[in-house]
Amino acid sequence: MALTPTATRELLARLGHTPKRFLGQNFLVDGNIVRKSLELAGVAAGDAVVEIGPGLGTLTGALLEAGAEVWAVERDRTLHAHLEADLAARYPSALHLVEGDAVERPLASLPDARAPGCKVVANLPYAISTPWMDAVLSGPLPGRMVLMLQREAAERYAASPGTKSFGAISIFLQAAYEIAPGHRVSASCFYPRPDVDSALLNLIRKAAPFVFSPADKALIRSCFQQRRKQMGAVIRERIPDRERQWRELLGSEGFSPAVRAEAVPVPTWIRLVQAR
């Protein structure tokens, strides 16, 4: 059951805790959105679920009540201690709670062997959303992810080629995951109320996901550093040893050297990095 705004303020006061803006501590206070998160992820009894930044435990409690086994990572020491005393005490065999940085532990210390079948259901702090996503996309890949994100971030991940929002992280994500219908979330669903609306991003791992290597990720990012620069010039500067292969491949797919990185679709990027 989601805490109301009043109950959230009272609990924070009892804990002597002031929400930290730099950690993105905006606590969910709408039970409908909690239920929608579980519904989109198809959470069922026995599922292995990862949660990032459980905070006061509203979403965590709902996952545990649904019968999921939950791995959660919380950076804030006060909130971690609260969760240990509350939910971990009530669900000692079902909640695996670690204190730490979610970028360093993107799946909250879930065993690698369980990652392909796990689900991630999380209210993701904006400040870490892209580095966390980048870490997750290095594998092993969760089967499902339902992520609460600021709407701007959700739009960037789901962006189509040829749009200003389309970038390197869009490519990395869409190479591995299908984007299913999600859900818009009003800023009024949180305490403290953030300045912008959010969205539930609903991701389903592809049957044959592609994971870019660290070197290929760095190369693709470099292609977007100067968004107005033509791909022909970027290729010549960054990978002269592969210039011929990339130019030929782009040409075979209907792109001239004057094309910009944001216009190149995800399947073409995959073929480009595979060209040697």
Contact 67, 45 (CB under 8 A): yes
pTM of the model: 0.94
Check which CATH number belongs to the domain holding 23 and give it. 3.40.50.150
Q: What is the pLDDT of residue 185?
A: 97
- What is the rounded (10 degree) CA torsion for 146, 148, 151, 153? -80
Asked if residue 265 and residue 187 are part of one domain, the reply reads no
Q: Phi/psi zone of residue 228: left (φ > 0), alpha (ψ -120 to 50 degrees), beta?
A: alpha
Helices (H), 16-73: 31-41, 58-65
Contact 176, 203 (CB under 8 A): no
Asked if residue 224 and residue 160 are part of one domain, the reply reads no
Asked if residue 167 and residue 222 are part of one domain, the reply reads no
User: What backbone phi and psi angles, to 5 degrees, belong to 200?
Assistant: -90, 115
Asked if residue 144 and residue 78 are part of one domain, the reply reads yes
Number of other residues whose CB lies within 10 A of the CB of residue 196: 10
pLDDT digits (tens, 9 = 90+) for 57-96: 999 999 999 999 999 999 999 999 999 999 999 999 999 9
Average pLDDT, the chain: 95
Asked if residue 93 and residue 60 are part of one domain, the reply reads yes
Asked if residue 194 and residue 147 are part of one domain, the reply reads yes
Please tell me the total count of domains within the chain. Answer: 2
Asked if residue 241 and residue 218 are part of one domain, the reply reads yes
Asked if residue 223 and residue 195 are part of one domain, the reply reads no
pLDDT digits (tens, 9 = 90+) for 152-200: 999 999 999 999 999 999 999 999 999 999 999 999 999 999 999 999 9
pLDDT digits (tens, 9 = 90+) for 218-249: 999 999 998 889 999 999 999 999 999 999 99
According to DSSP, residue 176 is labeled T
Considering 177, 205, 233, which residue would you say is the last residue of a domain? Answer: 205
CA quadruple 179, 75, 112, 137: dihedral sign: positive
Asked if residue 226 and residue 192 are part of one domain, the reply reads no
Which pair of structure tokens corresponds to residue 203?
Answer: 């991701």
Asked if residue 232 and residue 160 are part of one domain, the reply reads no
Asked if residue 152 and residue 97 are part of one domain, the reply reads yes
Q: Is 1's pLDDT higher than 60?
A: no
Cis link prior to 140 (omega < 30° from 0)?
yes
DSSP string, 218-257: HHHHHHHHTTTSBHHHHHHHH-GGGHHHHHHHHHHTT--T
Domain with 192, as residue range(s), is 5-205
According to DSSP, residue 260 is labeled B
Considering 205, 235, 257, which residue would you say is the last residue of a domain? Answer: 205
Check which CATH number belongs to the domain holding 239 and give it. 1.10.8.100
Considering 186, 205, 224, which residue would you say is the last residue of a domain? Answer: 205
Cα gap 56→7, rounded to integer Å: 11
Cβ neighbours of residue 30 under 8 Å, at least 6 residues apart? 2, 185, 188, 189, 190
Contact 114, 89 (CB under 8 A): no
Asked if residue 125 and residue 39 are part of one domain, the reply reads yes
Number of other residues whose CB lies within 10 A of the CB of residue 192: 16
Average pLDDT of span 246-262: 95
**In the chain, what percentage of residues exceed pLDDT 70?**
99
